[in-house]
Chains A and B, each alone.
Chain A
Amino acid sequence: MIRQVFLIKNPGIYTLIQDGGRVGYRSFGVPISGALDEKALNQANYLVNNPKGYPGLEILSTGMELLALADCYVAFTGALATILVDKKVVKTYETLLIKKGQTIIIKTLKSGLRTYLGVHGGFVSDVIMGSVSINEQILIGSRLKRDEVLSTCKPFTDVLIKTIKKPVYDNHYKVILGPDNHKFSSKEIKKLFNNSYEVTNKLSRMGINLLGEKISHINGADVLSHPVMFGSIQIPANGQPIILLADGQTTGGYAVIGNICGDDLYKLGQTKAGDIMTFSRSK
């Protein structure tokens, strides 16, 4: 059963449908994709009584405007944004009932970068290689457009109103060294942990380029191309770290000094240009 729930009045800057990601295709060069801030997506899913990994909206920054075509339960998580429903500010991290005819606007952003909108039943979209996650670079779907209609596959049912605590979004990341730590002296490795790095404006769903204390290699930056992943910290020849994200390439030839711990990955989805990142070593 397909039920139309929203009409997009304004798609905002860049709004995507994202789920838990595309699993099992990296050996064919297909990135995992999925919500960059998976914790926020799953908290939204929890609030609207969906299983983990159900498709929600990943809304970059502000400007998005939706008209409800039917009653539905939703939840907003992720960035600290001002969200208006019929011009009234509503709470994030809480189950909300939206009535047919109401208008939702993502107005201003106080911190973070991406707001997640979960709807009871999840959003319907084409499943490509096991996932609905949009990745324009690899020709899978496209960003949402004005006048597009969003649907869910569940009939309207009441769900429990719940609240959940917003997680900590500091910019500190635990790093597990390797697999290319042999390319760096211990003095160079310490630079990553003893300095802070600024997020440059070169950032996308593929990766984040950082700027800070230069990290030098032993015998050149390149290694034989090997698997990389969401959270891999590459050091290219210029010594400035690049953190790969969910849409990043599956293999790479720059030395990977370390990988960000799984339980810190969600924060990468909320970092923006100018943010200052710090790192600490983890086992």
Chain B
Amino acid sequence: MKVTCEYAKMGSNHVFVRFSYVIDKLVNQYIKKVYQTLNTKQPKGFIEAYYAYGSLTVQFDLTITNYKAMKKAISLIISDTTITKVTKGNEVIIPVTYNTEFGLDLALASDYLKLSQDEIIDIHSSGKYTVYMIGFLPGFCYLGGLDKRIYLPRKKTPRLLIPKGSVGIASSQTGVYPLDSPGGWQIIGRTNLLLYNPYSEQPFLLLPGDTVRFVKK
């Protein structure tokens, strides 16, 4: 698979690389691979890389390198990267209490989707999901692989407070709020599992590349 990309300056000390304008699982895996290689190879002046569905950004140290040199280092890594060598992550099981008390939008979702609450729960808890990206909040994973039958649009007006552990859906994505936070995802259940604990040796339950299963509690 041939992946094309375009480069842009992001501020004075970041290189922005766009691989895709739309969600594409293969492209996302490819970006993950580039991200991993950057971290292993640590090109001269590399500070950190972070990525999303279709793009990646690299911060560099302006006192050691410059935009042109870092862009070159990234493009060399990209030209050496093939999609076949994706490193598989862990499989993480997340127990979820699905009900109307914790699933603030479960009843609405049932009306909207013309499915019973149990059907929604069965479909959501039988899927296998991949961590596409982490962003928005520490440990907030955007999980791909949602069954089309339970796609839900974001709420028109975001909630001011979504409790920590809430499991939600936003169009083709599902995910878990790691912290109390405002948000617009449709909430169908809640987990007690801590996805983020800054005081722990390993602050994050999920890492890029992990796969996730939700099980009904």
Contacts and interface: CB of A to CB of B under 8 A. Distances in A.
B12 A262 contact: yes
Contact of A229 (B14, B22, B136): B14
Interface of B: 8-14, 16, 18, 20-23, 35, 47-57, 59, 62, 133-140, 142, 178-179, 196, 198-199, 203-204, 207-208
B138 A178 contact: no
A139 B179 contact: yes
A147 B141 CA distance: 39
Contacts of A26: 48, 50
A249 B136 contact: yes
A225 B203 contact: no
Nearest to B7: A179
Given A178-B10, A227-B16, A27 B50 contact: yes
A23 B47 contact: yes
A260 B13 CA distance: 11
A179 B198 contact: no
Given A225-B142, A262-B12, 14 more contacts: A23-B48, A26-B50, A28-B204, A138-B138, A139-B198, A176-B10, A227-B50, A229-B57, A231-B11, A232-B11, A249-B137, A250-B136, A251-B133, A262-B11
B10 A27 contact: no
A276 to B, nearest CB: 22
Given A128-B198, A176-B9, A29 B139 contact: yes
Interface residues on chain A, size class? 35 or more
B12 A263 contact: yes
Contacts of A226: 16, 18, 52-55, 57
Contacts of B20: 224
A231 B9 CA distance: 13
Given A139-B179, A226-B55, A28 B139 contact: yes
B88 to A, nearest CB: 18
Interface in A236-264: 249-252, 256, 259-263
Nearest to B132: A225
A224 to B, nearest CB: 5
Contacts of A261: 11-12
A101 interface: no
A244 to B, nearest CB: 11
Given A29-B136, A129-B203, A178 B16 contact: yes
Contacts of A25: 48, 138
A140 interface: yes
9 contacts: A23-B48, A28-B139, A139-B198, A179-B8, A224-B54, A249-B137, A250-B136, A251-B136, A260-B11
A225 B133 contact: yes
A140 B52 CA distance: 24
B98 to A, nearest CB: 25
A24 interface: yes
Contacts of B50: 26-27, 227, 250-251
A262 B13 contact: yes
Contacts of B138: 25, 28-30, 138
A24 B62 CA distance: 16
B140 A224 contact: no
A16 B13 CA distance: 26
Nearest to A26: B50
The 6 closest A-B pairs by CB, nearest first: A251-B135, A262-B12, A259-B11, A227-B57, A27-B50, A179-B8
A224 B27 CA distance: 13
Nearest to B32: A27
Nearest to B141: A29
Contacts of A224: 20-23, 52-55
Nearest to A231: B11
A250 B207 CA distance: 16
Interface in A206-235: 223-227, 229, 231-232
B11 A176 contact: yes
Contacts of A178: 8-10, 16
Contacts of B18: 179, 226
B109 to A, nearest CB: 22
Contacts of A232: 10-11
Nearest to B207: A28
Nearest to B164: A139
Contacts of A256: 10
